[in-house]
Amino acid sequence: MSRTRTPKPRAEPGSGRPRRDPVVPPQHGAWGFLGLPLLLGVAAAGWSPWLPELAVAWVAAYPASWAVTGLLTARGRRERFRRAVLLWTPLCLLAGAPLLVTHPWLGWVLLGYLALFAVNLLEARRHRERSMTNDLVLVAECVLLVPVVAGVVDGVGNALTTEVLLAMLVTALALVGSTLHVKSLIRERNNPAYTTASRVFAVAAPVVVVAACAASGTSGWLAAPFVLLAARAIWWHDPGWRPARIGLVELAGFSLVAAAGFWTL
């Protein structure tokens, strides 16, 4: 029986020191995606002592799924993801297990998320981790968290109130708009179709939110952040910006959307 040799850690350029395997995904903008549905879920449904555990399980699930995906599908040196798997997966399980025991219906939710994760794995095997399909799956996972928060707070029977549905709509519009805008500035900056799609979507979003607010009797101020996001897509569309600056603008936009949710829902 042959033994598999573990590759030696790579050295930092110019330092001679081994480079430690990463434990955090390099897609830093995704953290804002995780926070927005949590905040809007609280804005729509209120608070529960179980929410801190849900938040820990939810946030830990992102780097855990990234690490598991890398361990299963990376093209080279898959073992570099092992450290992250061993860090984040137990944390996610420890936070999520009590929730599953006390809220058994979350088992069905978990199956739904596993089905979405299967799509992530399929895209990763095709080396399409940055595809629009993969990004929209992440958006769907985030949108579905809003009724999960509401179900944990008020019971599964109150997971789809008018406020929760509005919060889901706002989450979807903010995250899809952000995805299109960022892609048009970075990975698809040479593709004018993405710029057009980003601007059309950004202009349509406040109209959709105003119509939804009017139909539900909610204050139209919920649409105010989307007016600013439309301005960002039209007048602040500068592919010369560094990714960090783009990310800060998107994070500010998410913060405004969350604040509007707490103000109106």
Give the bridge partners for 11, in sequence order. Answer: 18
Q: Are 167 and 265 in contact, with CB atoms under 8 Å apart?
A: yes
> Averaged over 173-195, what is the pLDDT?
94
Checking if the pLDDT of 205 tops 70, the result is: yes
Residue 6 is predicted with a pLDDT of: 38
Q: Are 180 and 201 in contact, with CB atoms under 8 Å apart?
A: yes
Q: Please list the alpha-helical segments (H only) found in 190-235.
A: 192-216, 224-235
Query: What is the band of 8 on the pLDDT scale with cuts at 50, 70, 90?
Result: very low
For residue 203, CA distances in Å to 183, 226, 242 come to 17, 8, 24
Query: What is the band of 51 on the pLDDT scale with cuts at 50, 70, 90?
Result: very high
CA pair distance 94, 91, nearest whole angstrom: 5
Nearest to 146 by CA among 257, 239, 251: 257
Checking if the pLDDT of 14 tops 70, the result is: no
CA pair distance 256, 57, nearest whole angstrom: 25
**Can you give the residue ranges of every domain in the chain?**
28-40+47-155, 161-265
pLDDT digits (tens, 9 = 90+) for 218-251: 999 999 999 999 999 998 888 888 888 899 999 9
> Averaged over 151-155, what is the pLDDT?
94
Query: What is the band of 140 on the pLDDT scale with cuts at 50, 70, 90?
Result: very high
Q: State the Rg of the chain over Cα.
A: 20
pLDDT digits (tens, 9 = 90+) for 104-126: 999 999 999 999 999 999 998 88
Q: What are phi and psi of 75, to 5 degrees?
A: -75, -25
For residue 233, CA distances in Å to 37, 73, 225, 236 come to 22, 34, 12, 6
